[in-house]
Chains A and B, each alone.
Chain A
Amino acid sequence: MTLVKLLLAVSPFFILVPLTSILLRYRYFTPALKWFAGYILLCAFTGFVSYALWCLKKNNLWLLPVQTTAELPLILIGFRLGIGNYKHAFHFYGLLAGFMSFSILYSLVPDSICHFNSLVQNISSVLIISGAVRFFFHVQREMKTENIFRSPMFWIASATLLYYAGTLFLFSLGNIIIRKPLQATISFWLFNAFLAALQYTLIAIGFWRSKTT
């Protein structure tokens, strides 16, 4: 159990890995990577505030709608710029505006900030997964990079695909899990922490690769 506690305690600090990459490689970033850097900064900010509130034993679930509302446009615009396909701009930005409006309205529902915003989170996850899948579809058709592992976007798309696919069911069941005793559900949060650490590491690799492209 000590190991589990240690892992849970250490996992929030994995955000420092991509943050270091941003600091060292930002000058090589393409516009797409800058949007993903924005996503990491958002994660760092919400992670820090969440950790501080948890230490103060205060409710930090209200941060979830904030993060959900902001992360989707950052990631999807990043993918759009990374793919370089600017068709259907009206539909794309319409979708983002619609999602953000819905997310904000949903967060205004009384008591919603004391629960997981599963519905909004799931819609966001599905859209992000779709964005990542679209990127891989694009890779198969048009990518010119000789070695795909040298492409920053490959690492970032893999990271987001793995994280959001892996946590889709976790957040769907979040409101059921949260009512159970912490000891019984610790493996769920450990799994989430592992996926987050994996995501941050892969994104950091992607940022680091920006110099070679």
Chain B
Amino acid sequence: MNIYLVFIAGTEAMLLSAVAIILFAVAYQRKQMKQQKEKQSIELEHQRALNENYIRTTEDERRRIASDLHDEIGHSLLSIRLQLARFSGSENSRQLVDETIGKLRRIAYDLYPPDLALFGLQAALDELLRQAQQSSGLGIEASYTITDRENLTGHELTVYRIIQELLNNTIRHAEASLVSFQLTAAAGQLTVSYSDNGRGFEARVKKGKGLGLLSIENRIKAARGQLQVVSSAQKGFHAQICIPYTAQQEKNGHTENRPH
């Protein structure tokens, strides 16, 4: 038999088999990775939907409890207050009822801020900042650039809760003297930029205190947004949050800077 023929045929068969094995492995692995990515994407979306549902249910429940506290227990307490006034109840009792009514209002407000539904995000945040400033003595600088307020409705509560949590973290753990944040809502993108001049993220984590970052992350994930945190010990804390929303025709645009 011709040696050349044996060599060419045999080597050709072997090489073609080798190349086929390599190409098959590459193609199969790519297909598998694609399927795995799709599976992960579905799982993530499912997780996000569950998270969103949980947050919505929690907020609905908070709103209901706040409403019940305000409408039922609040009114009952007011009646008691009037009864005490009418029947010349003791001053101590009246004072106690007044304090209870005050506490009840504050709890109801914390559970669900009525300003948000009545006057919008900016008014609710202004009230939140005013309260934070009053209770902690923090210097707060806030600026808002909202060009399409109508489209923000679905995200107002999310942003409010995030700022509330960030402020709580700063007040409780950061030992900061100044907080500044910018809220921008334009062209389908809602951006919150939040900074404080406190001890920084690492120092707070080392101390083992709850940062509520998980809660913030969950809310951002549910809204399909992104969170970036830049912080190191003694160098303050900075968080940038981007949440996309459906932009319609931009109208009634306004920019406002409001030092608190």
Contacts and interface: CB of A to CB of B under 8 A. Distances in A.
Given A165-B17, A176-B3, A170 B29 contact: no
B21 A161 contact: yes
A166 B30 CA distance: 26
A141 to B, nearest CB: 9
Contacts of A161: 18, 21-22
A139 B29 contact: yes
* Chain B contact surface mostly: helix
A155 to B, nearest CB: 10
Chain A: interface size category: 20 to 34
Interface string A90-107: 000000000000000000
Interface string B21-34: 11011101110110
Contacts, number: 54
Contacts of A172: 10
A213 interface: no
A177 B17 CA distance: 24
B29 to A, nearest CB: 5
Contacts of B15: 162, 165-166
Contact of B10 (A140, A162, A169): A169
Contact of A162 (B6, B18, B30): B18
Majority SS of interface residues in chain A? helix
Interface size class of B (residues with CB under 8 A): 20 to 34
Nearest to A187: B4
Contacts of B30: 148
A139 B10 contact: no
B36 to A, nearest CB: 9
Interface of A: 129, 133, 136, 139-140, 143, 146, 148, 154, 158, 161-162, 165-166, 168-170, 172-173, 176-177, 188, 191
Given A136-B22, A161-B21, 5 more contacts: A133-B21, A136-B25, A166-B14, A177-B3, A188-B7
